[in-house]
Amino acid sequence: MNFRIPKYLQTGIKLVLTAAALYYVLGNVDLQSIWLLVIKSNKVYLLFALVLFIFSKVVSSARLWFYLHKLDISITQRENLKLYWLGMYYNLFLPGGIGGDGYKTYWLRKRSGKTTAILISTLLLDRFSGLTMLVLLTVGLFYTLDILPELRFYPWIGVLLVLTTFFIVYWKVFPRFLSIFLSSHALSLLVQGLQLGAAYTLLLSLDVDTFLEGYLFIFLLSSVVMIFPLTIGGIGAREFTFILGANWIGLDPDMSIALSLLFYIITLIVSLYGMRYSLGSSHQIE
């Protein structure tokens, strides 16, 4: 007998977590100070951060195309990019990327006739390759910080175990994707590196010139948290992580939330572009 939490209860739990996260965040920052930081940020750096983020999404869509190509799905790079952007748009409204991945599965099933199971597995492999590289960079930045020096060695063991396990999964369960194991992870590293570069540029726009590695570490840590659908649309999860991280390693909480807010605005702007592919017009995916 399989036990599943009813959807209404899942939604209720997420609403409670969202409210609790926002309550905690708002009680630990100065909103006026954050607003001033945002409006006074350097617009040239903001534009550069936007460009880096867009490039990261283009590379991420290319990584997905390699997986679909291995499934013998006939889809052009242009169609794939449109599908990816439309998925980002849907992710604005449903948590954890479920909306975007759900639509991509539906569209690809109609296009290719592949089973839902194999399409979902492929999308999960694509996501996990990104997650492993995200964790790798997070551990790398953790190593540069002067915190918990007695634990610095153990995260690398975890990363090695994850990569080894993931390779074995490719080898034994998904052998058709084994030939793109290294290339997909290289693309994932580039994706995360570009987004880390965007965060670094946002810090420059806020005129942060000290302890940059601390802010970047918490940024990566919050990106890991954002993968899990704990709150409605991820609202409050990144900010909650930033506040906890700021208190943990001695960052400015207002500056941390300003960074989080600017990154969210960039994500929102880029994702909204996918709206044009959901309209009944010539912009739709072929």
How many domains is the chain partitioned into structurally? 1
Residue 95 in domain: no
Q: What is the pLDDT of residue 90?
A: 86
Residue 149 in domain: yes
In which domain, by residue range, is 166 found?
A: 31-70+132-267
Residue 90 tokens, joined:
């849907």
Residue 192 in domain: yes
What distance in Å separates the CA atoms of residue 174 and residue 244, rounded to the nearest whole number? 38
Using an 8 Å Cβ cutoff, are 138 and 220 in contact?
Answer: yes
Using an 8 Å Cβ cutoff, are 184 and 126 in contact?
Answer: yes
Q: What is the pLDDT of residue 282?
A: 44
- Residue numbers in the chain where pLDDT is lower than 70: 1-5, 7-8, 93-99, 148-150, 152, 232-233, 279-286
Residue 245 in domain: yes
Residue 202 in domain: yes
pTM for the complete prediction?
A: 0.89
Q: What is the pLDDT of residue 3?
A: 53
Residue 100 in domain: no
Which residues have CB under 8 Å from 38's CB, separation 6+? 258, 261, 262
